Each structure stands twice: as structure tokens, then as C-alpha cells.
Amino acid sequence: MGRDEIMSAAIRHLNTDPAASMAQIAEAAGVSRATLHRHFSGREDLMLALAHQSLDRWAEAQAGAGIAEATASADPERLGHALHALLTALIEIADEYGFGLADHAMAVHPDLLPRSEELEEREVAFLAAAQRAGVLRDDLPARWLSSAVLGLAVAARESLRRGDIARRDVPRLLLGMFFDGAAARNPGERTVPAGREGR
Amino acid sequence: MGRDEIMSAAIRHLNTDPAASMAQIAEAAGVSRATLHRHFSGREDLMLALAHQSLDRWAEAQAGAGIAEATASADPERLGHALHALLTALIEIADEYGFGLADHAMAVHPDLLPRSEELEEREVAFLAAAQRAGVLRDDLPARWLSSAVLGLAVAARESLRRGDIARRDVPRLLLGMFFDGAAARNPGERTVPAGREGR
DNA sequence: ATCATATGCGACAAAACTGTCTCACGGTTG
DNA sequence: CAACCGTGAGACAGTTTTGTCGCATATGAT
């Protein structure tokens, strides 16, 4: 039982009970409480390690989607592909580490804030580039689009856990919702009037 | 200091610290811990009361938007208006009671589940009617649309608290995202191919 | 003035969780 | 075989939170 195995067991269990105690996590991981404490000095240490892992995966998702290059290229097609790849990857990350999204204490932890802010800045810059390239509408702030993605990913996670939707459908549902919205299409029509941030 | 005043003070404080203790809530409400316990037998009792209040407001939002009548009418225009009204109302409810959305214990509480399920069923039926009337696209499950609304509302709440967006812009941003999505519009084009649930 | 009600304050016990420690056991390595 | 390392089990103290009580106080109505 290495550190990594304990961490994935912890993730698995925290996803069913986000408020689980160290004792419950240890039991779920099949180790004693003492052993758990040998790997992680305390609850905060464990949570921090899990949070860092999720940020690692977020960073990998950004890199894997090639958002930096796409942002620099300003090429609509590259931006579009990178966007699809990023959203698809974010779905899985949100599903796996979603238990932490609810945890208020972690969200404001000084060890995590700089990292998550930097990752978010990259994402916002990428989305803004997609707006400039005409891939995304530019009458909504890029920062709001970034939040909306996360909100939809959380919604998808919740729907999955409740059994409302099939796992294989999630990417289509989320991407469909994110890109095209829920309104029925009468070609060219926009349901809600554009706001003031258009240029 | 009546029960109602304590509850709104509790809401206010829980929105800044979702894990606040009874002592902290009492202090925030300007009453002693004993008084708090005289009104609510325990933490669970308080949380339950707040949750019921949020469900009350959800029900009022549904009624105020006239979703039952709109559902029965099958009239696209009425459904569209009701949908706008409902979403606008849900924004405020999510903003005010959002701290509870993170609370796993409440989400599965047997006293709340029947109520929230019934409210959700009404909403899903309403959304499905809007799909049949051609107001909403029908290649996404109504249940997913319902979850997506909630996810976007949570995202909006988070953005508000972080100061990313202005309160007055929230309805436009959320409705814009929900109805039209984030893709730039080339008239009639759909970014993500329709799935298998179309008819 | 008196009584009832609501409240504040402090004390208390019970529970839950945490973090640390010791000791014994078992497998591995030298 | 012997030393070593990781582990499990259990005990322990410290902390936090919770829920309850008794008592004093103030406010207001009769």
C-alpha cells in the first residue's frame, strides 16, 4: 500500500462521502489509521496532496489539449480543436476530483490559490483567444465562460452520480450545451439579446 | 430576534463560511448560543429549516413563473416567458441558498428528498414541454437541461462571490449561456452534432 | 406591582475527531 | 539467524463541537 494507492482509495471514498473522517478514509483504503498518518501528517496534508494532484491533472489537460500553442496561433481551427480536447478532459477531472470543489477550506488555501489562479488565467487567456478568433461569441466575458464550463462539469458529475445520464453521453451533452445552448435553433436567431461587451 | 431573523442571519453567515459552527452562527445572528438552541433543537434542525425554506422559494419560483399552466398550455410563447421567469428566479435562489448545494448531508436527507424530487419532476416536465413546443432543442434530455441550469446558477454564484462579474449582468450572462451557448454564431450552424435522442 | 416570556451567561457532560505514542507481528534483507 | 522496516492494533490526551441546564436579567403585558 503506497502513498498513491491510498490517495486513489481516498478519492474513491471521498466521492461518496466528502466529509469522511480520517478513520473512514483509512478503512476505505484498507490501512490502519496509524499508517494513514505515516503517509500524511494530518487531514489537511492529505487534502492538500489530493488538491495538488487535481491541479496537476488540470495542468496536464491544458498541456495535452495544447491550449498554449493554440492561444499563440490565433488559428480558429486549432483553437476549436483544443477547446474540444480541453472540455473533454475537464469532464473527467471534475468527475474524479469533484468532491473537492465543494470544500470551501481548500478553495481558499494559500498553498493552492496561486496554482489554481495561474491555471485559470491560462484558461481565460485561451478562451479569450478563441473569442478573438471567432470560435466563441465575444459578448460574454471569458472569465464567465470559464466558470460556466466548471459549472456544467459539476452538473454532469452530479447527473452521473444520480444515474440520470450515461457516462458515454456526457461529452456530447456537455459540449452540446456549452457550445450551442439549450434553445431550439431557428437559423441565425439569438434568443437572448447580446450585451454591452461586444466590440 | 425571531426565528426568521435568525434564519436570514444564518444564511448570510453560512454563505461566507459553509462550515460555521452553531456558536459562530449564533454570534453572527447576534443571539446567544442558548437562544439559537431554543429556536432550533440542533444543527441538523437549523439546516433542515433552511433547506425547507429554499425548497419553499423554489416552489414559489415555479408557481410565480407559471410553469404548471405553461406546461399544460403547450404554447411556445407562454413556455418561453415562463422559462425566462423561472431561470431569473432560480439565479437568486441559488445565490442565496447556494451554501447548501455543497452540503452532501442535506442533499440526501430523507426529509428533503421527496420534496426536492417532486420539484425537480415538475421542472423536468416543464422543460420537456418546452422541448415539445420547439422552444428548447429536444436532442438533450430534459433532466440534463435541468441539471445544467443548476450548474450554471452555481457557477454564477461563484463568479459573483469572486467579484468576476457584476450582479446586474448575471441574468444576461446566464440566460445567454443557457439558451445560446458559447459558440460564435454562423447562422443555422450547430457546433456539436446532434445526438441520438432527436426524434 | 406582578407575572410571563424571552434572552444572556456560564457551566457541564457527552461525543467525535485528531494527532501521537507504544508495542507486537510479519516479511525482507543481510 | 538477526537486524530492519512497514504495518496493525490499541491506548491516550487534547481539541472542538454539541446539546442541556440553571440562574439572573430585562422587557412588556395585565
> Is the per-residue pLDDT at B141 higher than 90?
yes
Query: Chain A contacts of B88, Cβ < 8 Å?
Result: none
| pLDDT tier at A198, thresholds 50, 70, 90 | very low
Distance CA A98, CA A12 (A): 11
Contact A165 B134 (CB under 8 A): no
pLDDT of residue A199: 40
* Set of cell numbers at residue A8: 486513489
pLDDT at A188: 53
Size of interface A-B (CB pairs under 8 A): 173
B35/D23 CA-to-C1' distance in Å: 15
- Tens of pLDDT, residue by residue over A115-163, are 999 999 999 999 999 999 999 999 999 999 999 999 999 999 999 999 9
Contact at CB, A180 and B184, closer than 8 angstroms: no
**Tens-digit pLDDT profile for residues A91-108:** 999 999 999 988 888 889
Can you tell me the mean pLDDT for B180-195?
Answer: 74
Rg (CA), chain B: 19
Mean pLDDT for all residues in chain A: 93
User: A156 and B165: CB-CB below 8 Å?
Assistant: no
**Tens of pLDDT along A45-62?**
999 999 999 999 999 999
- B150 and A145 within 8 Å at the Cβ level: the answer is no
> Using alpha carbons only, what angle is made at residue A21 by residues A39 and B39, rounded to the nearest 5 degrees?
150
Of B145 and A188, which is predicted with more confidence? Answer: B145
Among A186, A193, A184, which residue's Cα sits nearest to residue B80?
A: A184
**Positions in chain D where some atom is under 7 Å from a protein CB:** 6-11, 16-22
Instruction: Say yes or no: Cβ of B33 under 7 A from any atom of strand C.
Output: yes
Task: Kindly report the nearest CA distance between residue A103 and chain B, in angstroms.
Answer: 8
CA distance B33 to chain A (A): 24
The 8-class DSSP code of residue A136 comes to B
Task: Please report which confidence band the pLDDT of residue B185 belongs to, taking 50, 70 and 90 as the band edges.
Answer: confident
Between B187 and A83, whose confidence is greater?
A: A83
Q: Residue B199: what pLDDT? A: 41
Is the CB of residue B58 less than 8 Å from the CB of residue B93? yes
CA distances from A10 to A30, A39, A96, A106 (A): 10, 12, 11, 16
Instruction: Give residues with Cβ within 8 angstroms of A171, minimum separation 6.
Output: A87, A88, A91
In B, residues 113-152, which contact A (CB 8 Å cutoff)?
Answer: 131, 134-141, 143-145, 147-148, 150-152
DSSP annotation string for B92-139: HHHHHHGGGGS-HHHHT-TTTHHHHHHHHHHHHHHHHHHHHTTSB-SS
User: Which tens digits make up the pLDDT trace of B30-54?
Assistant: 999 999 999 999 999 999 999 999 9
pLDDT score of B72 more than 80: yes
Distance between CA A36 and CA A40 in Å, rounded?
6
Q: What is the pLDDT of residue B156?
A: 97
> What pLDDT shows up at residue A14?
96
The three grid cell numbers given for residue A6, joined into one nine-digit string? 491510498
